[in-house]
Amino acid sequence: MAETSEVIGHYVQQQGEGGYQWVPALDQSTELFNAVIGDDISRVEQLYTGHGGSSTHVCLFWGESKEQTGAPRVEAKSRTLAAIATQHGALRVLSYLLSKGVNPRSEGLYEFIESSNPNAPTIRAMLDDAAGNFAPAPGEAPAGPGAHGARTATPDAHGSGAAGQQGYAQQELDQADLENLPYSTADLTRPEYATDTFRMYCFKVLRCSKRYAHDWRACPFAHPTENARRRDPRETRYSSLVCPDYRQGCCVRGDTCQYAHGVFESWLHPSRYRTQLCKDQEKCDRPVCFFAHTISELRTPVDSFVPNPEERLRVPQATQVVLGIAPPLALQMSAGGADTAYAADQGPPVVPDLL
């Protein structure tokens, strides 16, 4: 893993309410630094290639000399991308880096948690979960909540080790399943993972960093091939209305569909989550309840989105080729194509996994 000493970010000292603060100077910093601070996961994924897992970068801090008033002073400090993401509360980028195998302890990430950040408890819990992937150093306590029984393999637990992640069963949870879970739901109900922000934008959206055996159904993060996985409503515009085609078992629009795919996408949508009171109110014991239990828990719906009226007729181009609906011109004369793809006795077309 190559160490780099490239300067990626600049901070400037500014007088804030509580004294001097270090503020990122975004227009003088690199695109990678901006993408991490802006929690722009797709850009980080593109730019991250070639930077190595835990490479350290340099950030320059431009301030005033302590010894001599008015004299400028610049200090260079090493920072990993995960440290920058931790410090600036970039949850998506942090979860991505942790899932790539970043060790929160060896990178000293805990030191970078800003207690004033509203996501600080969630960040700490995410670091604890990922720290559970690594044996503690001699004399060090085992990782915090990440170690609360989760690392003990149970007969029901799916997957063990990185390779085990492929073994997750394809299932979809709905509210009824959640009410009748036969195992501990401690992770689902942890307050760090139950904030409105986490439930609406992170629950089953952020990828899971745990490489140890754990029950994916009781884990608030997304796992490969898991159908409960959600699209981030900030990244993809979709409505809380459940997709009629998805409900029938096949939606050719896949991740580009403007309707909700599944109960989580529908009920955890910012236009719907906790906008109505729960019939059981404070007696409710559902691990994940989509309703508010007190007046103060009620939210004002945001991000209402109405799908395009033509949406259900839309077949994305990539899908057309895969399904043989609109083969490239040269192939149109050969057998197959539109007629056979929709032959009545074949049932709905099957969408390959890659969609």
Name the residues that contact Zn ion, by CB under 5 A: 208, 210, 219, 221, 243, 246, 251, 253, 257, 259, 278, 284, 289, 291
Least distance CB 340 / Zn ion (angstroms)? 23
Least distance CB 324 / Zn ion (angstroms)? 20
Contact 5, 58 (CB under 8 A): yes
Q: Which is nearer to Zn ion, 47 or 123 (CB)?
A: 123
Q: Which is nearer to Zn ion, 111 or 285 (CB)?
A: 285
Contact 205, 134 (CB under 8 A): no
Q: Which is nearer to Zn ion, 316 or 337 (CB)?
A: 316
Amino acid at 319: T
Least distance CB 245 / Zn ion (angstroms)? 5
Residue 74 pairs in a beta bridge with: 62
Q: Tokens standing for 83? A: 């440290």
Q: Which is nearer to Zn ion, 43 or 312 (CB)?
A: 312
Least distance CB 96 / Zn ion (angstroms)? 14
Alpha helices in 280-329 (DSSP H): 317-323
Q: Which is nearer to Zn ion, 52 or 144 (CB)?
A: 144
Contact 257, 246 (CB under 8 A): yes
Q: Which is nearer to Zn ion, 124 or 223 (CB)?
A: 223
Least distance CB 173 / Zn ion (angstroms)? 13
Q: Which is nearer to Zn ion, 35 or 228 (CB)?
A: 228
Q: Which is nearer to Zn ion, 43 or 293 (CB)?
A: 293
Closest CA to 213 of 167, 173, 144, 145: 167
Cα distance between residue 89 and residue 37, in whole Å = 8
Least distance CB 46 / Zn ion (angstroms)? 25
Contact 200, 233 (CB under 8 A): yes
How remote is the C-alpha of 31 from its chain's centroid?
21
Q: Name 254's Cβ contacts closer than 8 Å, sequence gap at least 6.
A: 316, 319, 351, 355
Closest CA to 273 of 329, 206, 205, 197: 197
Cα distance between residue 163 and residue 201, in whole Å = 27
Q: Which is nearer to Zn ion, 268 or 289 (CB)?
A: 289
Cα distance between residue 300 and residue 66, in whole Å = 48
Least distance CB 280 / Zn ion (angstroms)? 5
How far, in Å, are 239, 269, 270, 275 from residue 302 at the CA level?
11, 9, 6, 10
Contact 203, 226 (CB under 8 A): no
Local structure of 334: helix, strand or coil: coil
Least distance CB 242 / Zn ion (angstroms)? 9
Contact 16, 42 (CB under 8 A): no
Amino acid at 126: M
Local structure of 40: helix, strand or coil: coil
Least distance CB 351 / Zn ion (angstroms)? 10
